[in-house]
Amino acid sequence: MIKAIVNVSLKAGVLDSQGKAVHHALDSLHFSGVSNVRVGKQIILELDTEDKTTAMADVTKMCEELLANTVIEDYEIELV
């Protein structure tokens, strides 16, 4: 079994309203010294294979087709 960790984040330059909301909430709670907040998704997949090359190819295809909106989001895949 291979575990794939996919981190999906908004591309630089795309307005991150969730990040802005968290930043504002942290300010309201008197956490100073935070200069930027970005919020993304982390998707953890368990795959029934032992071949890392196949796994990486499959997960890349999943990201392109479903997991990430590649117009506005970047994704990173880590296999463990």
Per the CB < 8 A criterion, the answer to whether 14 and 8 are in contact is no
Handedness of CA 17, 45, 57, 6 (dihedral sign): positive
Interacting positions 8-27 with its own copies (CB under 8 A):
9, 19, 22, 25-26
Q: Is 77 in the site for its own copies (CB under 8 A)?
A: no
> For the chain, what's the residue count?
80
68 contacts its own copies (rule: CB under 8 A) = no
What CA–CA distance (Å, rounded) separates 7 from 12?
A: 15
Does residue 44 belong to the site contacting its own copies (CB under 8 A)? Answer: yes
Does 36 help bind its own copies (rule: CB under 8 A)?
yes
Q: Is 45 in the site for its own copies (CB under 8 A)?
A: yes
| Nearer CB in complex with its own copies: 47/56 | 47
